[in-house]
Amino acid sequence: GAGVSQSPSNKVTEKGKDVELRCDPISGHTALYWYRQRLGQGLEFLIYFQGNSAPDKSGLPSDRFSAERTGESVSTLTIQRTQQEDSAVYLCASSQTSGVVETQYFGPGTRLLVL
């Protein structure tokens, strides 16, 4: 597609439920990033995928968070047993390659509200 797409746009869930967020990167982009933006905060790095290499999960805040990506395609971010502090906008970005710094292109985000 023309840009990074994410779904759903908005998600309201109850505390304790699991949620799954989806990201479709720009076609041909090998690097994919997940970030979180909580109210009044900057973006926090969560996880990074580069091709078929092992992902960098160093930003995941707890073991309730996990993400998968198959090859250079769609990625899903899963939050298990959601808590109110998980409420945030979850942003996905992709870039052409890695190893050298490349511009990241961001999706519109998924706004998650945990009641």
Q: Of all helices (H) and strands (E), which one includes residue 34?
A: strand 31-37
Residue with smaller CB distance to other proteins, 80 or 106: 106
25 touches other proteins by CB under 8 A: no
Residues 6+ apart with CB under 8 A from 112: 10, 11, 12, 13, 19, 21, 79, 82, 86, 87, 88, 89, 90
Residue 102 in the binding site for other proteins (CB under 8 A):
yes
Closer residue to other proteins, CB minimum distance, 33 or 86: 33
| DSSP code for 56 | B
How far the first Cα of the chain sits from its last, in Å, is 33
Residue from the set 69, 109, 110, 112 that interacts with other proteins by CB under 8 A: 109
Q: Based on the shown chain and the rule CB under 8 A, indicate whether residue 20 belongs to the binding site for other proteins.
A: no
Total residues interacting with other proteins, rule: CB under 8 A: 29
State the residues that interact with other proteins by CB under 8 A: 3-4, 31, 33, 35, 40-45, 48, 50, 56, 59, 91, 93, 95, 98-99, 101-109
